[in-house]
Every structure is written in C-alpha cells, then in structure tokens.
Amino acid sequence: MQLDTRAQTLLKALVERYIADGQPVGSRALSKISGLELSPATIRNIMADLEEMGFVSSPHTSAGRIPTPRGYRVFVDTLLTVQSIDELTVEAKMQLRLQLKSPQKIISNAAQILSSLSQFAGVVMTPRHESIFQQIEFLRLSEKRILLVIVAPNGEVQNRLLLTDVDYTPSQLIQAANYINQHYAGLGFDEIRTRLQGELRQLRDDMTRLMQAAVEAGSDAMAEGGEDMVISGERNLLSVTDLASNMTSLRKLFDLFEQKTSLMQLLDVSSKAAGVQIFIGGDSQLLPVDEMSVVTAPYEVNGKIVGTLGVIGPTRMAYERVIPIVDITAKLLSNALSHT
C-alpha cells in the first residue's frame, strides 16, 4: 500500500522518536519534529489513516501512537537513513580482535564484537563442517555388531557402533573398507551418499547395505563435536525494557537461545540472501517474540558463503546504527577467516 510523502514523513518521524524514547508519540510532538507545516487536525487525520492501514497503533485512547511491526517494516525498507558511523575506528577495533586467532576464536570474538557495539546480543552461525574422511576401518566385535572407525584428514578419530542384519566375516569387512578407502577417501560423506546408488550395483546387496550404513553413521559422527552457533551478550537483553517487562516474551526469547532451532532456521534463510537482512517480530514467522528483531548478514570464506552473523535485540532498536555494525563485522569476519 503506497503512502504519500506527508504520510511517509510523519511515519518516519514517529518511528524515530519512539525508538529514541520508547513513549507513544502524539500529534503535537509530530508537528514539531516532522518539519511539516500542517495543522494538528491534518496530522491527526493522517495518523488515523496510518492506524487504519495497520502502520501505527494507539496503546491508550488519549496517548499518542506507536509503530506496529508493519510500520517498522516500511520504515526499515523504505524510510531508513543508515547512519555513517566512524568506520575506520570500528574496523580498527574489530580487526585488532579478529587477527591472529584460530577460526573458532575469531568467530567467538565476532559475536562479542557484535554484542559490545550494539549493546544487544550478537550471534554467529559457525561454518558447516564438511564430513570428509581420510580412512575407515570395520572391526568385528561380535555377531552382527561392527565397530566403524573413521579417521579425518586432521587425524581426529571417530568411532560408531553398527548393528547389522548380516554376520559379516573379517575378510568381507576388509574388502568393504578397502573399496571405500580406494574410491572415496578425501570426499565428503554427503557426496559419497549420492554416488553409492550407481556405483555399488556390482557388489552384493549385503555389502551395499553395510557401506550405506557406514556412510550414514560416518556423516552423523563427523557432524558432531562443534557448536552450530556462538551467542554473546544474551544478558544485555535483560536490561531492555520492551523485552524484560513481559515475562512471557522473555521466556520465549531465552527458549529461542536454548533450543536454537528457530534461530538456526532464520540464520540459514539469511545465508541464502545477499547483504543485510532485517527480521521483525510480528512481521516474520521465524521470530517467536513480537518485540524482537534480528539484523543479519552472511559471511564468506574465500568467496564462498559459509555462515551468517547478526544482532538480536528489540524491535525498538537503532537500526540506522546496527545495520552498518552487522555489515562491517560480516566483511571483517570474511576477511579474517579467509586468511587463517
């Protein structure tokens, strides 16, 4: 729904004032801060139209109005002027903390930087581990019980127990291990899975089943052991009145941090889009709390998108400041990880 210039100006002024002080904004205040030479009656009529269209709401009859999720969406998509923060200072501060560290430490530092600069919670989805193996072995433990030993390229060893329908002989297990090591060593289990169907037809069915079981177990084993995401500064949100004043919202928020499923889904969606994305509670089905927003951006390693980072805060956040913080951090993290 298109808004005329006057309505856009008033909505922008209302959202900015509400973000600044958290109080409903009345027509008299809007006439002063909007810069429009309009009578109070005209402003009231425009605000009534904005309320009817769902961009603002009145929490109390006599008080002013506040933005709705739909109003925030129009604001961040079309009306927002991103603040030009001192990028050199911010970059120097962040680069100092991102250099000369292990990838895990760099990611942890990035989450801390996002939190400290925004004063909200910072989150970084870690790069997905490719389930690559260097060598596997099958060890017969007893009838229909086999130990799968997986050696990663870095020398790390994972063990998994396989329960089979067939009692394989030691020579059959050696044959199966040799076949996998010869044809698939250095590949990821996901890639092996797609090639198995066409390449194992010449083997007996029971051997094919053993290899398929090994691939499934190996993929699960190699995917374990690392955090899906790093979150920093959750406690900052306890001091945000909009979130902390509602126990139901606060409980949902920390359930989001604890269970992580919805947050992972949101970050995964973000990784498929270019640039900064803004998710607003009440407007996005991926957020369980209406008073919460998430600003995200994907990051890369050697030109390939491997994860997403962002800031989690209230819908009443200073988007013009948070957006460049997220954008700069994503670029610096990409650069740091590409040179480790």
Q: Give all strands (DSSP E) within 143-291, no chain letters.
A: 145-151, 157-163, 229-232, 277-280
Using alpha carbons, select from 232, 229, 228 the residue that is nearest to residue 113.
232
- Residue 279 within any structural domain of the chain: yes
Using alpha carbons, select from 50, 41, 71 the residue that is nearest to residue 7.
50
Enter the tokens of residue 210.
């053993």
56 backbone dihedrals φ, ψ, rounded to 5°: -135, 165
Predicted confidence at residue 287, as pLDDT, reads 87
Do 11 and 72 belong together in one domain?
yes
Do 175 and 108 belong together in one domain?
no
Predicted confidence at residue 199, as pLDDT, reads 63
Predicted confidence at residue 13, as pLDDT, reads 95
Predicted confidence at residue 205, as pLDDT, reads 65
The residues that bridge with 151 in the sheet, in sequence order, are: 135, 157
CA 23 vs. chain centroid, Å, equals 30
Q: What is the CATH number of the domain that holds 330?
A: 3.30.450.40
Predicted confidence at residue 14, as pLDDT, reads 96
- Residue 326 within any structural domain of the chain: yes
Predicted confidence at residue 100, as pLDDT, reads 62
Q: What is the CATH number of the domain that holds 66?
A: 1.10.10.10
Domain containing residue 158? 135-185
Do 73 and 90 belong together in one domain?
no
Do 34 and 103 belong together in one domain?
no
Do 124 and 254 belong together in one domain?
yes
Predicted confidence at residue 118, as pLDDT, reads 93
Using alpha carbons, select from 262, 199, 213, 218 the residue that is nearest to residue 130.
218
**Measured distance CA(174)–CA(168) in Å, rounded:** 10
**Measured distance CA(332)–CA(226) in Å, rounded:** 22
Do 90 and 72 belong together in one domain?
no
Each of the 340 residues of the chain gets a pLDDT tens digit; together they read 678 999 999 999 999 999 999 999 998 899 889 888 888 889 999 999 999 999 999 987 667 899 999 999 999 999 998 877 776 677 767 776 777 677 888 899 899 999 999 999 999 998 865 567 788 899 999 888 899 998 877 677 888 889 888 899 999 899 889 988 988 888 877 677 777 666 655 555 667 778 778 877 776 666 555 568 899 999 999 888 888 888 888 888 888 888 788 888 888 888 888 899 999 988 888 888 889 999 999 999 888 888 999 999 999 999 999 999 999 999 989 988 887 6
Do 114 and 162 belong together in one domain?
no
Gyration radius of the chain over CA positions: 27
Do 74 and 140 belong together in one domain?
no
Do 73 and 102 belong together in one domain?
no
Query: Do 205 and 240 touch, CB atoms closer than 8 A?
Result: no
Predicted confidence at residue 272, as pLDDT, reads 82
Helix (H, G, I), strand (E, B) or coil at 130: coil
**Measured distance CA(311)–CA(122) in Å, rounded:** 5
Predicted confidence at residue 79, as pLDDT, reads 94
Do 25 and 97 belong together in one domain?
no
Q: How many domains does the chain have?
A: 3
